[in-house]
């Protein structure tokens, strides 16, 4: 080996050592993580609102109207507070050269739960500096280690809840891979025991609390033997030790992506647990089968905080043409529904889902136009009237 190779290996080895040292520190913090917050016992719950970029402020405003309708009594009695958080626009992030300004992180940490609009992550060719994703910094800053996404297709008997590991895998050192020399680049995939155990407990608890009997773990453990192998084994071990009533089955990610809608293959899918990258891909495939952008929302859950959002982005082509008032608010409204369920009002989330079924399918009276017909706000008027009607019927 020549001297240049030796130097390149020494530099890479030093860098790798620094990454490992940082990871041991993070593992200690994960081990000390507290018990999940019990929202039912809180006297006061603060819902922070991050409007986002592009179409975000318009559609989030509609979702806030839905929150105000669903939680009217709680807001009136001041048990629940809705608190806007300013300062996370792409213009400000670009001006400061920071993806997540410290004042925004502090304001988010001061809330119990957050509803967030989509945020721009600059790509080559965008008019913005090449900032890292504000979404992933928020997930890390609030320690939101689970990405939860429900997928329902009642006509096909599908009622799935995905639990994606949100912080580790290929993403945790995403911008810290090593360009060893011109010929050789290395990225990393990280799987920790405490990180996987807390994900396993979140998914298995959800299964137990919601009468689910099977948890499916999706990996490529036959090839990625350490990271995926440990991930799969840890979830099986936690289930066997602490949740003996729940059956764990395993699947490979390539087969899962290919055969997701095959009833023989997806038999017994109820709660599905995946490492970060596979979760990102498979949940997007599932959302596409469910009905695409307007139909899916996701929750980012930790023990002390939770953040809820639509699955789509900022829709720059709509926003730049002044068409934001006609953007579809359904996905972020579904996210608001997940939030309401998470803080202890599962019945009100179910009420919203019923109202959405009525307004989007059975009595679809408002079909959003594009610059001429009904707007996002018109749809929300219809939805809130429908919710009030359902509330009246239940009373």
d(CA 149, CA 311): 9
Distance of closest approach, residue 272 Cβ to ligand NAD, in angstroms: 20
Please tell me whether residue 341 adopts helix, strand or coil conformation: helix
Is 221 or 306 the residue whose CB approaches ligand NAD more closely? 306
Residue 218 touches ligand NAD, criterion: CB under 6 A: no
Residue count (the chain): 395
Residue 328 touches ligand NAD, criterion: CB under 6 A: yes
Is 19 or 132 the residue whose CB approaches ligand NAD more closely? 132
Residue 380 touches ligand NAD, criterion: CB under 6 A: no
Output the residue with the shortest Cβ distance to ligand NAD.
313
Residue 300 touches ligand NAD, criterion: CB under 6 A: no
From 111, 167, 287, 318, residue interacting with ligand NAD (rule: CB under 6 A): 318
The runs of H, that is alpha helices, within 89-221 are 90-96, 102-109, 134-141, 193-209
Nearest to 199, CA basis, from 160, 166, 246, 161? 166
Distance of closest approach, residue 352 Cβ to ligand NAD, in angstroms: 17
Count Cα atoms within 13 angstroms, Cβ side, for 88. 30
Distance of closest approach, residue 117 Cβ to ligand NAD, in angstroms: 7
Residue 37 touches ligand NAD, criterion: CB under 6 A: no
Distance of closest approach, residue 161 Cβ to ligand NAD, in angstroms: 19
d(CA 280, CA 278): 5
Token pair of 221 as six digits? 């453990």
Token pair of 43 as six digits? 């006297």
From 17, 84, 129, 316, residue interacting with ligand NAD (rule: CB under 6 A): 316
Q: Report phi then psi at 96, rounded to 5.
A: -80, -15
Please tell me whether residue 372 adopts helix, strand or coil conformation: coil
Total chain residues near ligand NAD (CB under 6 A): 18
Nearest to 343, CA basis, from 41, 97, 35, 25? 41
Positions 113 through 152 that interact with ligand NAD (CB under 6 A): 118-121, 135
Residue 158 touches ligand NAD, criterion: CB under 6 A: no
Is 87 or 316 the residue whose CB approaches ligand NAD more closely? 316
d(CA 306, CA 134): 16
**What angle, rounded to 10 degrees, do the helices at 3-31 and 193-209 form?**
40
Residue 6 touches ligand NAD, criterion: CB under 6 A: no
Is 308 or 345 the residue whose CB approaches ligand NAD more closely? 308
d(CA 276, CA 169): 6
Binding piece for ligand NAD, criterion CB under 6 A, among 31-39, 178-186, 210-218, 310-318: 310-318
Give contact residues for ligand NAD (rule: CB under 6 A).
55, 59, 118-121, 135, 293, 309, 312-318, 327-328
């Amino acid at each position: 080996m020549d001297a240049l190779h030796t130097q390149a290996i020494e530099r890479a080895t030093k860098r790798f050592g620094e990454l490992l040292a940082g990871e041991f520190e993070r593992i200690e913090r994960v081990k000390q993580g507290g018990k999940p917050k019990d929202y039912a016992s809180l006297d006061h719950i603060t819902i922070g609102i991050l409007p986002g970029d592009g179409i975000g402020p318009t559609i989030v405003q509609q979702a806030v109207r839905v929150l105000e309708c669903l939680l009217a009594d709680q807001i009136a009695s001041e048990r629940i507070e809705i608190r806007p958080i300013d300062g996370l626009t792409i213009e400000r992030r670009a001006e400061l050269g920071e993806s997540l300004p410290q004042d925004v992180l502090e304001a988010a940490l001061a809330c119990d739960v957050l509803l967030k609009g989509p945020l721009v992550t600059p790509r080559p060719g965008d008019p913005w500096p090449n900032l890292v994703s504000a979404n992933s910094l928020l997930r890390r800053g609030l320690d939101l280690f689970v990405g939860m996404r429900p997928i329902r297709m009642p006509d096909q008997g599908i009622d799935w809840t995905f639990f994606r590991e949100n912080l580790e895998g290929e993403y945790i050192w995403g911008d810290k891979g090593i360009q060893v020399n011109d010929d050789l680049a290395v990225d990393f995939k990280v799987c920790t025991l405490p990180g996987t155990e807390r994900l396993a407990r979140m998914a298995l608890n959800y299964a137990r609390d919601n009468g689910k009997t099977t948890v499916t773990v999706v990996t490529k453990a036959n090839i990625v033997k350490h990271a995926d192998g440990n991930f799969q084994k840890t979830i099986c071990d936690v289930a066997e030790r602490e949740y003996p009533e729940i059956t764990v089955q395993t699947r490979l990610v390539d087969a899962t992506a290919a055969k997701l809608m095959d009833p023989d293959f997806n038999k017994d899918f109820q709660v599905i647990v995946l490492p970060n990258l596979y979760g990102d891909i498979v949940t997007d495939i599932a959302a596409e089968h469910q009905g695409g952008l307007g139909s899916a929302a996701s929750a980012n859950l930790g023990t002390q905080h939770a953040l809820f959002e639509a699955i789509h982005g900022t829709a720059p082509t709509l926003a730049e043409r002044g068409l934001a008032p006609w953007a579809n608010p359904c996905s972020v409204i579904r996210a608001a529904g997940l939030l309401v369920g998470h803080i202890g009002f599962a019945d009100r989330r179910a009420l919203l889902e019923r109202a959405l079924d009525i307004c989007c399918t059975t009595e679809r009276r408002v079909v959003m136009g594009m610059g001429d017909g009904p707007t996002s706000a018109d749809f929300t008027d219809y939805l809130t009237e429908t919710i009030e009607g359902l509330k009246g019927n239940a009373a």
